[in-house]
Amino acid sequence: MENLFALDVLSRIAHVATAIVLVGGTVFMRFVLMPAAKELPEAEHDQLRQRLLARWKRVVHGGIALLLLSGLFNYMQQIPKHKGDGLYHALLGTKMLLALVVFFIASALVGRSAAFEKMRQSRANWMGVIVLLSALIVGISGFVKVRVPKPKLAVPTEPRQVEKLPAATSS
Ligand code: HEM
């Protein structure tokens, strides 16, 4: 039990820390590094982009794996605590779908597949999309964490049957 508690804490720390690195790194690149690098001569800019992408790719792939592993573990831990709480599961389902979209865009941007070359040509826009979706994901995650679900009222089912007592016989 205590071991599971430690794993629970560790998994949460890994999840949040990875999200900070990936989302923070994307915000830094999109709004600080890319505008600054644009001012470099073309050849230097290209070199910088290639070196950066080779390193960032490893962070993205490792980060996606960690977020999926820790996220699924966190979810398994939360399921018993949120039995019958439809809104919790709907919000987390939405978050997971959004996360898959973010993972797809991030992988396409660091990959080499010719199919996604068009996306890579408008890298700045797609990174903006990643930042927006990530803000939504962090918002949902924070909301489900602090929201207090409404207590369920006991719903009466069938009206109670009143058993008739056998008529008293007078003797
Ligand atoms: C871009 C990807 C993701 C980001 C930025 C992200 C971010 C976060 C953050 C910041 C929290 C902490 C919320 C808090 O404690 O206040 C959290 C919690 C959580 N995340 Fe993620 N996450 C991502 C992907 C995923 C995925 C893929 C899964 C599931 C497969 C997942 C499942 C969870 C669960 C179950 C919690 C705990 C919710 C609760 O407290 O009830 N996350 N996430």
pLDDT tens string 53-62: 999 999 999 9
Q: Report the separation in Å between the CA atom of 123 and the middle of ligand 1, taken as the mean of its atom positions.
A: 25
pLDDT tens string 99-118: 999 999 999 999 999 999 99
Residue ID of nearest Cα to ligand 1 atom 31: 71
- Ligand 1 atom closest to the Cα of residue 88 is 41
CA atoms within 13 A of residue 82's CA, in its CB half-sphere = 19
- Ligand 1 atom closest to the Cα of residue 81 is 41
- Mean pLDDT in residue range 53-80: 97
Ligand 1 pocket residue status of 130, Cβ below 6 Å: no
> Nearest to residue 21, comparing CAs of 32, 31, 10, 29?
29
3 pLDDT more than 90: no
Q: Report the separation in Å between the CA atom of 141 and the middle of ligand 1, taken as the mean of its atom positions.
A: 5
**Cα–Cα distance, 15 to 19 (Å, whole number):** 6
168 pLDDT more than 70: no
Residue 42: φ, ψ to 5°: -50, -50
The whole-number pLDDT of residue 171 equals: 47
Residue ID of nearest Cα to ligand 1 atom 21: 71
- Mean pLDDT in residue range 140-153: 90
What is the average pLDDT score of the chain? 92
Domain locations in the chain?
2-146
More confident residue, 157 or 45: 45
Longest alpha-carbon distance in the chain: 116
Are 26 and 137 within 8 A, CB to CB? no
- Mean pLDDT in residue range 135-158: 86
